[in-house]
Chains A and B, each alone.
Chain A
Amino acid sequence: MPLLHAEHISKTYPNGTQALKGIDIEVEQGEFLVVIGLSGSGKSTLLRCINQLHTVSSGRIVFDDAEITALKGRRLRQARSRIGMIFQQFNLIPRKTVLTNVLSGALARTPVIKSLLGMYSAEDKQKALAYLDIVGLAQKAYVRADNLSGGQQQRVAIARALMQDPKILLADEPVASLDPSTSHSVMKYLQKINQELGVTVICNLHFLSLVRTYATRVIALKEGQLVYQGAPSDIDEQWFKTIYGEDAVEVSIN
């Protein structure tokens, strides 16, 4: 039984844009799956359908033996809490400390009243500090999150996602706003989480050089359809042109 199983999912936005057109994917436990494709090919929509930030128009997604596309209310929130997510723009809470941001990953298991008062369990606080240590930001716990650099903010976001004890980590272009060396550092943290903590990662990426370094498997989307599925080393010149168009030239970051 795969960890995640998407059956023929389609997504049409209210404005008529068809972002996904019948996609089938299976994701096994422990994979580092990278999704590639042009801007607007449906990569972000696919990730947001997995944790139901967007509802699918048709098809179904089964995650961890439950049909997440059919869940509502508390049960949906519980399912979401087992799926971490990081974003291109980091999406940290402004004007709050790094520690508060990381602790917000534990909201799903904290009673509403306690969370409004900022009362997290001692266990969660220790865990938050431990995860900050893993992403190398233990010194910054009481610094305001918006005072950190882009790469540091993304690492805070990773720690926040880890607070959820996720089975899957969704990463929506996690390095698209970062410079090349910071990109590698963030990607290395994702790899570490994947290999050492055994968290399955599904990641949208733009740069093929990053894909070849970090992915264990690649899928490619084009205009909302799955056009490639395979090992990262198998993406040759021909496939590259199919995915990105005839005129595309590969740019690499090192």
Chain B
Amino acid sequence: MTEHIIAQPMSIQRYKATIKAWCTDVLIWSYSCIVLFKIAYQQWWLDLRYVDFSWHEPLYCFVVAMVLASVLIYTRCSIGKALFGLITFKEGQSIFRASSVRLALVKLLLTFAAGLHVSQVSMHEFLSPSGLAGAQRIFSALLSPNFAIFEDALFAAIETVYMAFVATALAIPVAFVLAFFAARNLMKHSAASFALYAVIRFFMNLTRSIEPLVWAIIFSVWVGIGPFSGMLALFLHSVASLTKLYSEQIEAIHDGPVEAMTATGAHPVQVIWYGVVPQIILPYLSYTIYRWDINVRMATVIGLVGGGGIGTMLMQYQGLARWNEVGMLVIVIATIVWLMDYASARIRAHLK
């Protein structure tokens, strides 16, 4: 029924939708053209090792796509039209019988095939005799770990756990305060507070979108290689993640207690302390423990780029190709991660 209503000549909305559909089609077809030309034709069919690139090529593809899209917009084969609700699907019929959907599936297949080619997936390499011999060598070394370095590995692992713990602990108060300023429902009431909200959200998203691994590299230049740089990287990333998780929790609270506290004539700080905090404290604890758990795992990876702890040790032995020692470290890491995972799951289950 609703499809019918949309299909009525509500001209302006239909125009807008058609333009959007056409633009979508142009983008989809430009992409298809360039993939077909560069990967399917040049790399795979002609088997060129070094493919030249010039900005004329995407431009030509764009022109071809515009022509194609302009033709297809009058047919039922337009993916854009299907996306923007301009094609009525027959009721009771599988949507996979619609030509637009089938075309979209073909595009998906094309992307998958191109992906296989770009990733250089090769069963030949995977099962070659020399490769298998190497795999056997490393696995047998890993499976006979060198227990002589057990104490060193344990101390490094403890360093990693402490590093993760301090990073989490320092992140909690910062994220706790920032979360209130990053919660839409508390900040939307005035233009100034909303601007602050937007700025904090932006910086938090930016911080979060940069991997802790990259932060660790930055801080290892700043404060030198070692646990401190790793801790700083984890701290920064934890602040951003916890702020987001905390603020989402604040956004999901019931308004009732807030309204009730406001109605008593309480100060805004009191309103937050009595109306908001009791509602969020348990989920906060749960998230924070989970974060510590994640941080222990991340601390291991960060060690690989010089963030200290067991990761750094792993990198050193791996560089020396001493696989028996690496095997020992892998066992210690797996045990720590498993223990943390188990403990945090148990604690969080009790917090519900």
B-binding residues in A (CB < 8 A)? 51, 53, 77-85, 87, 89-96, 104-105, 107-108, 110, 112, 115-116, 157, 160-161, 163-164, 170
Compute how far the CA of A112 lies from the CA of B261 in the bound complex, rounded to whole angstroms: 13
CB nearest neighbor in A for B281: A95
- B306 to A: closest C-beta gap in Å: 42
Supposing A80-B265, A94-B279, A164-B265 touch, asked if A85 and B260 sit within 8 A by C-beta, the answer is: yes
Residues of A within 8 A of B266 (CB): 77, 104, 107-108, 115
Compute how far the CA of A82 lies from the CA of B279 in the bound complex, rounded to whole angstroms: 26
Does B94 sit within 8 A of A, measured CB to CB?
Answer: no
Q: Is the CB of B259 within 8 A of A87?
A: yes
Interface string of B248-285 (1 = CB under 8 A from A): 00000010110111111111011001110011011000
Q: Is the CB of B257 within 8 A of A77?
A: no
Compute how far the CA of A100 lies from the CA of B138 in the bound complex, rounded to whole angstroms: 63
CB nearest neighbor in A for B275: A93
CB nearest neighbor in B for A157: B260
Q: Is the CB of A80 within 8 A of B264?
A: yes
Q: Is the CB of A112 within 8 A of B270?
A: yes
Compute how far the CA of A146 lies from the CA of B98 in the bound complex, rounded to whole angstroms: 54
Supposing A104-B274, A107-B274, A115-B270 touch, asked if A93 and B265 sit within 8 A by C-beta, the answer is: no
Interface string of B194-233 (1 = CB under 8 A from A): 0000000000000000000000000000000000000000
Q: Is the CB of A108 within 8 A of B265?
A: yes
Residues of B within 8 A of A79 (CB): 265
Checking A53, A84, A96, A170 against B262 with a beta-carbon cut-off of 8 angstroms, the contacting residue is A53
Q: Is the CB of B264 within 8 A of A104?
A: yes
Supposing A93-B274, A94-B279, A104-B274 touch, asked if A164 and B257 sit within 8 A by C-beta, the answer is: no
Number of A-B residue pairs having CB atoms within 8 Å of each other in the complex? 82
Q: Is the CB of B256 within 8 A of A89?
A: yes
Supposing A93-B275, A94-B279, A107-B274 touch, asked if A112 and B257 sit within 8 A by C-beta, the answer is: no
- B278 to A: closest C-beta gap in Å: 5
Compute how far the CA of A130 lies from the CA of B281 in the bound complex, rounded to whole angstroms: 30
Q: 18 A–B contact pairs at CB < 8 A?
A: A77-B266, A78-B265, A79-B265, A80-B263, A80-B264, A80-B265, A85-B264, A89-B256, A93-B260, A93-B261, A94-B257, A94-B279, A96-B278, A104-B266, A107-B266, A112-B270, A160-B264, A164-B265
- B257 to A: closest C-beta gap in Å: 5
Compute how far the CA of A174 lies from the CA of B264 in the bound complex, rounded to whole angstroms: 17
CB nearest neighbor in B for A163: B264
Compute how far the CA of A212 lies from the CA of B278 in the bound complex, rounded to whole angstroms: 39
Compute how far the CA of A85 lies from the CA of B263 in the bound complex, rounded to whole angstroms: 7
CB nearest neighbor in A for B263: A85
Q: Is the CB of A107 within 8 A of B270?
A: yes
Residues of B within 8 A of A85 (CB): 260, 263-264
Supposing A81-B265, A108-B264 touch, asked if A94 and B278 sit within 8 A by C-beta, the answer is: yes
Residues of B within 8 A of A82 (CB): 265
Checking A81, A92, A116 against B264 with a beta-carbon cut-off of 8 angstroms, the contacting residue is A81
- A165 to B: closest C-beta gap in Å: 11
Residues of A within 8 A of B254 (CB): 91
Residues of A within 8 A of B275 (CB): 93
Q: Is the CB of B260 within 8 A of A87?
A: yes
Q: Is the CB of A93 within 8 A of B270?
A: no
Compute how far the CA of A136 lies from the CA of B282 in the bound complex, rounded to whole angstroms: 31
Compute how far the CA of A170 lies from the CA of B264 in the bound complex, rounded to whole angstroms: 11
Residues of B within 8 A of A51 (CB): 263
Compute how far the CA of A212 lies from the CA of B9 in the bound complex, rounded to whole angstroms: 55
CB nearest neighbor in B for A116: B273
* Beyond A91-B259, A91-B260, 14 additional pairs, beta carbon < 8 A: A77-B265, A81-B265, A87-B256, A89-B256, A93-B274, A94-B278, A94-B279, A104-B261, A107-B266, A108-B266, A115-B273, A115-B274, A116-B269, A116-B270
Supposing A77-B267, A108-B264 touch, asked if A93 and B278 sit within 8 A by C-beta, the answer is: yes
- B249 to A: closest C-beta gap in Å: 14
Compute how far the CA of A110 lies from the CA of B264 in the bound complex, rounded to whole angstroms: 12
- A216 to B: closest C-beta gap in Å: 24
CB nearest neighbor in A for B266: A107
Supposing A80-B264, A81-B265, A108-B266 touch, asked if A95 and B278 sit within 8 A by C-beta, the answer is: yes
Residues of B within 8 A of A105 (CB): 264
